[in-house]
Chains A and B, each alone.
Chain A
Amino acid sequence: MTSSSGTATADTDAVIVESGGANVASLGFALERLGARVTVSADPGRIAAATHVLLPGVGAAADAMRRLRARGLDRLLPELTQPVLGICLGMQLLFDGSEEGAGGATTCLGILPGRVERLRPAGDLPVPHMGWNQVASLRDAPLLRDLGALPYAYFVHSYAAPPGPATDAVCDYGGRFSACVSAGNFHGVQFHPERSAAVSARLLGNFLKLRTQPERACA
């Protein structure tokens, strides 16, 4: 399959952080469709050497953080200077903490300010929030370029980050939550960019076009 948008250059060396989640294969296939070289690894040296790092995740926050800590990745990931994309649970892990887990408090990577909370949608909507929903941009963000107005993306989650300083786009499911976030070289999407049809290739293509900045910009 070829894509007209965001074909990766030959020197793209994307690494998907092996997190024990189940969506690693489909994410890898989506990146390969864009022409990227993709490796799945939990090795800190390999991750540090990547041009692009993707942190996927399906499962529970506490469990995922345990796995990252066991590999020392809880210290490595916040130090990375190349473009990093957290997906679903992987995006939630970028925040200070999550309500998910024993005692309602799991310490996460602390890269983005804020705390992930359980979805408590108004109107008796079912949780998990599962299916296609619209993404509304709040501001310009490189990942959201050329996605069109209110694109539909595929969501599967029970927890979410409330809108905050890192929020680029929101989704409404009986209340608004962060759909896309970013700060410096760190990006996150609550939906599944590997399973969001037209949005998939665009957004992942936009991510692969990002390059490591010599200095981390604060703008």
Chain B
Amino acid sequence: MPCLDVRDGEVVKGVRFRDHRVVGGILELAARYRDAGADELVFYDITASPQGRTVDRTWIARVARVLDIPFCVAGGIRSVADAEAVLGAGAEKVSVNSPALEDPELIDRLSERFGSQCVVVGIDSQTVGEDYRVQQYTGDVRRTRDGGRRTLEWVLEAQARGAGEIVLNCMASDGVRRGYDIEQLAAVRRVCRVPLVASGGAGDMQHFAQVFTLAGVDAALAASVFHSGEIKIGALKRELRANGIEVRP
């Protein structure tokens, strides 16, 4: 599941949430991943929440026009009306992160209106001592702060409120390509009864195989290794199948 961080209409990628550089156009990358056999795409407007504005939606319908696989849009979705516009433009799912921390009932309202299958809760989590804690406003390093919650408790609350999927981004691993945070993901898996998507840290194909077999996640998200072409989706799927993991060809 390639993840495309969108800033000002272009796809960018940072390392540990900093120093973003442009990797390409939205439509060009969307079409490339569609043709390569990606199962789903996630678009994060990483500037939306820190700037207190809503995601610029003009590109969503253009993406929907070229994609024949599902895609999810995240970034500054703070209301049912925001979500309606994004879903109406052709996205399958909306993902809420910082706005859900500010207003947890947003998850209830979204799942009541659109069904929990449309509502993804994205969680940026940081290891703090022996614990995992939720971070907020991670799109802008100057504004990133502790979200005031323990990660496991927030996972439980989010699914009780109607989240249909959890994307757990382990911040310490993000962009550094040393593998997913298996320990943290396995801890979340034990309490998470909805689909769980791993994010942050993929560097080679074995990292993907490990996160499926050791942490039991339902999907794995990555950015750098796909954008750079270092890992080809077709080869990755063959590798996963060779490891006994069921994937769509």
- On A, residues with C-beta under 8 Å from B are 1, 22-26, 29-30, 32-33, 58-60, 126, 128, 130-132, 152, 154, 156-158, 192, 194-197, 200-201
Contacts and interface: CB of A to CB of B under 8 A. Distances in A.
Nearest to A88: B117
Contact of B68 (A25, A152, A201): A201
Contacts of A195: 67-70, 92
Interface string B166-182: 00000000000000000
Nearest to B69: A197
Contact of B118 (A24, A58, A131): A58
Contacts of A126: 193-195, 218
Given A29-B65, A158-B117, A132 B194 contact: no
Contact of A1 (B39, B66, B70, B116): B66
Contacts of B90: 25-26, 29
A24 B68 CA distance: 14
Q: Which of B34, B164, B248 neighbours the largest number of chain A CB atoms within 10 Å of its CB?
A: B248
A131 B219 contact: yes
A23 B68 contact: no
Interface in B52-68: 61, 64-68
23 contacts: A22-B87, A23-B87, A25-B89, A25-B90, A26-B90, A33-B65, A33-B68, A58-B114, A126-B195, A128-B115, A128-B117, A130-B117, A130-B164, A130-B165, A131-B218, A156-B92, A156-B117, A157-B117, A158-B115, A158-B116, A196-B69, A197-B68, A197-B69
B61 A25 contact: yes
B148 interface: no
Interface string B78-118: 00000010011110100000000000000000000011111
Contacts of B84: 22
Contacts of B165: 130
B68 A194 contact: yes
B129 interface: no
6 closest A-B pairs by beta carbon, nearest first, are A22-B87, A25-B90, A152-B248, A26-B90, A132-B248, A128-B117
A194 B67 CA distance: 9
Nearest to A199: B68
A156 B194 CA distance: 13
Contacts of A201: 68
B249 interface: yes
A25 B64 contact: yes
Nearest to A124: B193
A58 B248 contact: no
Given A23-B87, A29-B90, A196-B68, 20 more contacts: A26-B64, A29-B65, A30-B68, A32-B65, A33-B65, A59-B115, A128-B117, A131-B39, A131-B219, A152-B249, A154-B70, A156-B70, A157-B117, A158-B116, A192-B70, A194-B68, A195-B67, A195-B92, A197-B37, A200-B68
Q: Which of A156, A158, A192, A197 has the most CB of B within 10 A?
A: A197
A126 B218 CA distance: 10
Contacts of A158: 115-117
A195 B163 CA distance: 21
